[in-house]
Chains A and B, each alone.
Chain A
Amino acid sequence: MAAQKSKSAITVKGSAEIVVEYLDFGINSILFQRGLYPPEDFKTVENYGLPIYMSQNNKIKEFLSSTFCQLKEWLVKRLVDKIALIVTSVKTREVMERWDFNVQYEGDIDNPNQTSDKPLKQIQNEIRDVLKQIASSVAYLPLLDCLCSFDIQIYTKNDIELPPEWGDAQPADIKNAQFVRLRSFSTNIHKMETVVTYKSED
């Protein structure tokens, strides 16, 4: 019985991995769906039963992987409050759009050996639903009609050691903003909530 339970259990580390994997697919999907980069730079990857467009640009891949590597560590230590994808106009430096991925810690927060027995299949179904919503967000989000770049900001607790090559960032808020809350998913350790904030047209 105990052996079986440990087989399907998700550790904190495993949960962080699931979250980061979701962020990787989610952010790549946003970069494609919002037309930030030429569609030729993307390749489809089948995951969660969905074709997902992943960037093949080496610099973007490198940026994402090093960000996520650090993020995973902080997620395990429960230091992260929020991950934000900021889309800014290259010309005016104006924030055009932001995607907030809010992290909540569930269950026995103080226990580092916490496990969750939520079936992986169920979590993946939840993630799939969020990714579907991201893909369909094109229907209501305004067109990003200028050259845009993106950045990832991680909102952490105050008592954190700053690793090399990381720095403090300015909060990027949008004037006259509107936001849409997408579905959330949970591993019973990390709960991820996705919110997109965009500039209202008028």
Chain B
Amino acid sequence: MSQFRFANEMNSLLTLDGPLTKGPVPRWQKKGAENSSIVNCSLNSSKQKSISSLNASTKTPSKCGDGDVLRIKKTPAKTPKAGRSGSPTPNKASKTPGGGDRFIPSRSATNFELGNFKLFQTSETESLSPTNEIQRAMYENLHGGDINNQRILSYQNKAPAAPEGFQNPMRVIYTQTRTPASSKSNNRYIPQAPDRILDAPDIIDDYYLNLVDWNASNMLAVALGPSIYLWNAGTGKIHQLLEMTGNDYVCSVAWIQEGDHLAVGTCTGTVELWDCSQIKRLRIMDGHSARVGSLAWNSYILSSGCRSGQIIHHDVRQRDHNVLTVGNHTQEICGLKWSTDGKYLASGGNDNVLNIWSTAGGNRYSQPQPLYTLTAHQAAVKALAWCPWQPHILASGGGTADRHIRFWNCQTGVCVNSIDTKSQVCSLLWSSNYKEIASGHGFANNQVIIWKYPSMVKAAELTGHTARVLHLAISPDGSTILSAGADETLRLWKCFVKNPVKSKEGVQAKVKTSLLKQSIR
């Protein structure tokens, strides 16, 4: 017998077209069965209604008059209302039999007020009083003894709270995490080790100074304590440019855009101009009352930022070099940069303020009042960099309490993007080779981070410095960045080396996609 049964089963399995004899009931059959029963139900209810319209069972939703008419369209003859007798459309109704595996409660039959009252009454009586009891019991268990036998006293002259705007310095420790590198695959190789390490003995570990600059003729100027050294990156030769006497030290260096002239800001408040091809001082420009921590060139105008919060625009060609003194900072200016097109000057101070100054009337120096005063940063603004390919975009980075890199549109004064870097931002640099931005950081990893712009996805993290990365400079060909750390080393990272084959391919691909887009639209 068993073999026959098996044979039968096999046959039934193999006849695919035949009706199913085994297994669960197909879905369409189940649906049909359900619908027919529901139709019956609704028919019944309408019958019931004609008998006793006050039946309160909520299972039959077709209690109210209007709903009734809509639901029982299928059998228009049974609707008791005469007014609708002309309107029913039996054809449509037949397509939707019964209308429902949905439960539609009848609103008129529900007593909302009573329901609401019941809901709130129960919650109050059930939840409140027992928790009080429990709290009391818990308190007595925990603290020992009855509360009523105890007094809580406090001295009425309270201690003051921390000053307004103070931020918990522990924040850095708590939120310092090494964020994993982006999951987005990087299609270029960024060496993780420095190409070269140079010694920088006695470099001053001061966040507010600007001690490194690299010029167009591949000369790197580094201020180490009282001296300035010039390092020819092509030949590797080193010259000492100057050494200051006494306890004086160099606070800032800046190369003119084209040529061999170097501006030097000193701790006595003077700005010196040096011709480095002849190792000769050309002039000394005074005017500041305190040390000059930041310098920026705009053609023949040299702008210098002082500890007093003043900016002086010097015209280096004139005998009366001081063309304009502007001041909108209350504390030391530590960041000063002219935009690549020379139209805007950005200044950042220890007063957490970032000012944008604009030029007017063909002048190379700024107007006496700032165009925008931006106070979004929560700490000193030292790191400033203007985007080379979008001249009105400025990147600014804040100190330990702020840790954000912010991007500003200087035509509108709007912060277009910001990112929390989890560490003090000491310096910023754009790379036009790859449309990326590099940032130098302090505690805890002392790293240089390379971000893609504008997505701000991390492309690489270059670690190696054992103290904060104070300054960044980029080589004239844009391939190498130099980081000056407070650990008295200068590290050269070849992270933006152009790949000639790849860059060509990239251009071609771009052209193709744009054509494709045009044809689609």
Tell whether A pairs with B: yes
A interface residues (Cβ-Cβ under 8 A, vs B): 33-39, 57, 59-60, 62-64, 66-67, 70, 81-82, 90, 138, 142-145, 147-158, 160, 162, 165-171
12 interchain pairs (CB within 8 A)? A35-B170, A57-B160, A63-B155, A82-B143, A138-B173, A143-B170, A143-B175, A144-B168, A147-B162, A151-B154, A160-B153, A165-B157
Question: In the assembly, what is the distance between CA of A171 and CA of B155, in Å?
Answer: 14
Chain A hits for B161, CB < 8 A: 90, 147-149
B158 interface hit (Cβ, 8 Å): yes
Chain A hits for B166, CB < 8 A: 37-38, 147
Q: Contact flags (1/0) for B108-137 with A, using CB distance below 8 Å?
A: 000000000000000000000000000000
Chain B interface residue number, banded: 20 to 34
11 other A-B residue contacts (CB within 8 Å) besides A63-B155, A148-B162: A38-B163, A57-B160, A63-B159, A70-B155, A138-B173, A144-B170, A149-B160, A155-B143, A155-B151, A157-B150, A160-B151
Check if B151 sits within 8 Å of A158, measured CB to CB. Answer: yes
Shortest 5 CB-CB contacts between residues of A and residues of B: A149-B161, A35-B168, A35-B170, A63-B159, A143-B174
CB of B132, distance to nearest CB on chain A (Å): 13
CB of B128, distance to nearest CB on chain A (Å): 16
Question: In the assembly, what is the distance between CA of A167 and CA of B157, in Å?
Answer: 10
B56 interface hit (Cβ, 8 Å): no
Check if A167 sits within 8 Å of B143, measured CB to CB. Answer: no
Chain B hits for A35, CB < 8 A: 168-171
Give chain A's interface secondary structure class.
mixed
Chain A hits for B159, CB < 8 A: 59-60, 63-64, 149-151
Check if B170 sits within 8 Å of A167, measured CB to CB. Answer: no
Question: In the assembly, what is the distance between CA of A63 and CA of B149, in Å?
Answer: 27
B508 interface hit (Cβ, 8 Å): no
Check if B162 sits within 8 Å of A156, measured CB to CB. Answer: no
Check if A169 sits within 8 Å of B154, measured CB to CB. Answer: yes
CB of A92, distance to nearest CB on chain B (Å): 13
B66 interface hit (Cβ, 8 Å): no
Given contacts A35-B168, A147-B161, A148-B162, contact A165 B156 (CB under 8 A): yes
Check if A38 sits within 8 Å of B169, measured CB to CB. Answer: yes
CB of A197, distance to nearest CB on chain B (Å): 10
CB of B274, distance to nearest CB on chain A (Å): 38
Q: Contact flags (1/0) for B440-471 with A, using CB distance below 8 Å?
A: 00000000000000000000000000000000
Chain A hits for B16, CB < 8 A: none
Question: In the assembly, what is the distance between CA of A176 and CA of B92, in Å?
Answer: 59
- Interface hub of A62, A66, A149, A170 (most chain B Cβ within 10 A): A149
CB of A173, distance to nearest CB on chain B (Å): 8
Q: Which residues of B from 153 to 202 have beta carbons under 8 Å from A?
A: 153-164, 166, 168-171, 173-175
Among A142, A147, A152, the residue within 8 A (CB) of B154 is A152
Check if B168 sits within 8 Å of A156, measured CB to CB. Answer: no
Given contacts A143-B174, A147-B166, A148-B161, contact A170 B152 (CB under 8 A): yes
Given contacts A39-B169, A60-B159, A147-B162, contact A168 B152 (CB under 8 A): yes
CB of A44, distance to nearest CB on chain B (Å): 16
Q: Which residues of B from 211 to 253 have beta carbons under 8 Å from A?
A: none
Among A39, A143, A160, the residue within 8 A (CB) of B171 is A143
Question: In the assembly, what is the distance between CA of A162 and CA of B169, in Å?
Answer: 38
Check if A168 sits within 8 Å of B162, measured CB to CB. Answer: no
CB of A17, distance to nearest CB on chain B (Å): 19
Question: In the assembly, what is the distance between CA of A126 and CA of B475, in Å?
Answer: 59
Q: Looking across the interface, which residue of chain A has its beta carbon closest to that of B170?
A: A35
Check if A152 sits within 8 Å of B169, measured CB to CB. Answer: no
Given contacts A39-B169, A59-B160, contact A157 B151 (CB under 8 A): yes
Question: In the assembly, what is the distance between CA of A149 and CA of B168, in Å?
Answer: 12
Given contacts A38-B163, A143-B174, A147-B164, contact A155 B152 (CB under 8 A): yes
Among B150, B154, B175, the residue within 8 A (CB) of A167 is B154
Question: In the assembly, what is the distance between CA of A192 and CA of B284, in Å?
Answer: 67
Question: In the assembly, what is the distance between CA of A165 and CA of B173, in Å?
Answer: 39
Check if A145 sits within 8 Å of B168, measured CB to CB. Answer: yes
Question: In the assembly, what is the distance between CA of A121 and CA of B144, in Å?
Answer: 31
Question: In the assembly, what is the distance between CA of A145 and CA of B167, in Å?
Answer: 8
Chain B hits for A154, CB < 8 A: 152-154
Chain A hits for B162, CB < 8 A: 36-38, 147-149
Check if B153 sits within 8 Å of A168, measured CB to CB. Answer: yes
CB of B25, distance to nearest CB on chain A (Å): 47
Check if A158 sits within 8 Å of B150, measured CB to CB. Answer: yes
Chain A hits for B158, CB < 8 A: 63, 149, 151
Among B149, B156, B169, the residue within 8 A (CB) of A157 is B149
Question: In the assembly, what is the distance between CA of A63 and CA of B157, in Å?
Answer: 7
Chain A hits for B152, CB < 8 A: 153-156, 168-171
CB of B205, distance to nearest CB on chain A (Å): 18
Question: In the assembly, what is the distance between CA of A30 and CA of B472, in Å?
Answer: 38
Check if A169 sits within 8 Å of B153, measured CB to CB. Answer: yes
Question: In the assembly, what is the distance between CA of A148 and CA of B161, in Å?
Answer: 6
Question: In the assembly, what is the distance between CA of A149 and CA of B155, in Å?
Answer: 14
CB of B403, distance to nearest CB on chain A (Å): 13
Question: In the assembly, what is the distance between CA of A33 and CA of B145, in Å?
Answer: 32
Q: Contact flags (1/0) for B9-39 with A, using CB distance below 8 Å?
A: 0000000000000000000000000000000
CB of B7, distance to nearest CB on chain A (Å): 64
Question: In the assembly, what is the distance between CA of A59 and CA of B171, in Å?
Answer: 25
- Interface hub of B159, B161, B164 (most chain A Cβ within 10 A): B159
Check if B154 sits within 8 Å of A166, measured CB to CB. Answer: yes
CB of B73, distance to nearest CB on chain A (Å): 54
